[in-house]
Amino acid sequence: MTWRKTGVAEPTLPVGSLREVMVGSASVLLIRLPNGVRAVDALCPHLGGLLADGTLTGVRLKCPEHGAVFDVTNGSVAVDPFGIEPPEGGVDPIAAYPTRVEAGMVEVDLP
């Protein structure tokens, strides 16, 4: 595992918040859920929509560009904007990364 510092203190992420951060050369989206912090790719794989501008409902994050919905706990496609039932469809899942909190700071395990 390669744990990388995000520079984000866990208390600065209120529940329901989305925060895009650069971790090395990777753009990562941190999501604060009631049970902890999750991390996923910051861009929608469909047309590169900024997921930080999306809408979070529970564990589902809706892309602001075309309405694809992703499960932020594992990156899977929950709703394909073309009406195709996942796992088939025109939108790929997003990468989800393990997170941990060390000394109050959020860290992400990136490949």
Owning domain of residue 83: 3-109
Confidence tier at 88 by pLDDT (50, 70, 90): confident
Model confidence over 5-15: pLDDT tens digits? 999 999 999 99
Residue 17, domain CATH: 2.102.10.10
Model confidence over 33-72: pLDDT tens digits? 999 999 999 999 888 889 999 999 999 999 998 889 999 9
Cβ count near 51 (within 10 Å): 27
Contact 30, 8 (CB under 8 A): yes
User: How many domains is the chain partitioned into structurally?
Assistant: 1
Average pLDDT over residues 21-39: 96
pTM: 0.92
